[in-house]
């Protein structure tokens, strides 16, 4: 299947509900290296549509990170895609670009219609139909509205996955993307039975010891720059191999950099096995748009949280990024 940017037409929840109701078979995908919003959104929507009587399957190029595997159930899992599949409807969630869906995934899928649902302002508007809500804190927040607007079922698994999707993308409602609507959405999920204490414990206090070991490696390269306004660290592929890092082990560690008093921007550099360096960046200052900084490196995201991939040696990347941040500051 071939997807192209700027081809989709924006639709409302009623139109999206009609597309879903008319489809018998549905495939749901999200971006590779999935985070809590991607995993939670996929599994939540799948559980809801399965309860509606649809034939639904979730696929992703990468495995579910270990710290999020508790979200999966036997009847609703995310599968690798190694052979051709087809469906009446393909729903792409929480993914701003075609590239981040993974060429390996797209190449194996054929669908009569493609619906994109996302909250990233940098979305390429690919597919046939689009629901794009940049003011939403998470794709999970959009799905709560979609499900409610169409009176779709909300099984316990869908409810819990939506809670985790929104919680992880808002830093437990600490980030500036958390609006009054976000709080109300979370309150509605709790009113429907979401066990906050249990879900938060499973999400944030159930990590492998590798997480502490890779943090130790990261701290070896910790630096403050631009008169204490920028904090950053980097981790090589060799260090990751030494620790045995798995997907998700580094999720949320950047909050330590962001939490330093006086810091306006923080970033991390993570060397991939291919040699590509993954840049993740966060802003604490509304006047510093990190999506624009990351766009310089071919990436994007949100004003306060963005990322990119840099094709350069790890030892060169920090200075390249710091130079672009200096322009923004």
pLDDT in tens, 124-158: 999 999 999 999 999 999 999 999 999 999 999 99
- Residue in the block written with tokens 């909050």: 255
Residue 122 has pLDDT above 90, yes or no: no
Residue 176 has pLDDT above 90, yes or no: no
Query: What does the pLDDT average to over 185-193?
Result: 98
pLDDT band (50, 70, 90) for residue 1: confident
Query: DSSP 3-state helix, strand, coil percentages of the chain (rounded to 5)?
Result: 40, 20, 40
Query: What does the pLDDT average to over 20-28?
Result: 98
Residue 74 has pLDDT above 90, yes or no: no
210-328 and 9-204 share a CATH fold:
no
Residue 284 has pLDDT above 90, yes or no: yes
Spell out the domain ranges in the chain: 9-204, 210-328
Residue 326 has pLDDT above 90, yes or no: yes
pLDDT of residue 75: 82
Residue 247 has pLDDT above 90, yes or no: no
CATH architecture type of domain 9-204: Alpha-Beta Complex (3.90)
**Tens of pLDDT, residues 76-87:** 999 999 899 999
CATH architecture type of domain 210-328: Roll (3.10)
Residues 130, 132: Cα–Cα separation, whole Å = 6
Residue 113 has pLDDT above 90, yes or no: yes
Query: What does the pLDDT average to over 254-272?
Result: 96
Residues 305, 310, 312, 314: is their CA dihedral positive or negative?
positive
Mean pLDDT across the chain, nearest whole number? 95
Helix ranges (DSSP H) in the chain: 13-22, 36-51, 103-106, 139-149, 156-169, 180-191, 196-204, 210-219, 237-243, 254-258, 290-295, 314-328
pLDDT of residue 202: 96
Measured over all CA atoms, what is the biggest interatomic distance in the chain, rounded to whole angstroms? Answer: 58
**Tens of pLDDT, residues 294-320:** 999 998 888 999 999 999 999 999 999
């Amino acid at each position: 299947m071939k997807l192209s940017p700027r081809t989709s037409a924006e639709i409302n929840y009623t139109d999206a509900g009609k597309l879903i109701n008319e489809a018998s078979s549905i495939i749901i995908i999200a971006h590779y290296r999935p985070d809590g919003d991607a995993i939670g959104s996929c599994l939540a929507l799948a559980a809801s549509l399965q309860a509606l009587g649809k034939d639904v399957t979730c696929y992703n190029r990468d495995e579910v990170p270990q710290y999020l595997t508790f979200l999966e159930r036997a009847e609703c899992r995310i599968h690798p895609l190694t052979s051709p599949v087809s469906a009446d409807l393909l729903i792409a969630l929480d993914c701003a670009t075609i590239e981040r869906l993974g060429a390996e995934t797209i190449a194996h899928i054929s669908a009569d219609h493609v619906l994109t649902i996302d909250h990233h302002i940098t979305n390429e508007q690919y597919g046939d139909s689009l629901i794009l809500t940049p003011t939403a804190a998470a794709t999970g927040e959009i799905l709560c509205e979609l499900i409610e607007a169409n009176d779709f079922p909300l099984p316990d698994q869908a409810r819990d996955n939506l809670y985790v999707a929104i919680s992880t993308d808002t830093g437990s409602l600490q980030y500036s993307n958390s609006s009054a609507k976000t709080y109300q959405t979370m309150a509605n999920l709790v009113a429907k039975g979401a066990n906050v204490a249990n879900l938060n414990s499973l999400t944030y206090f159930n990590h492998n010891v590798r997480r502490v070991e890779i943090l130790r490696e990261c701290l070896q390269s910790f630096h403050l720059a631009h008169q204490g306004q920028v904090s950053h660290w980097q981790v090589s592929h060799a260090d990751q191999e030494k620790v045995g890092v798995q997907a998700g082990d580094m999720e949320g560690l950047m909050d330590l950099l962001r939490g330093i008093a006086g810091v306006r921007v923080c970033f991390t550099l993570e060397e991939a096995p291919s040699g590509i360096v993954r840049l993740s960046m966060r802003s604490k200052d509304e006047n510093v748009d990190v999506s624009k900084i990351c766009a310089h490196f071919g990436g994007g995201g949100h004003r306060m949280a963005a990322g990119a991939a840099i094709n350069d040696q790890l030892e060169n990347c920090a200075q390249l990024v710091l130079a672009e941040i200096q322009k923004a500051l």
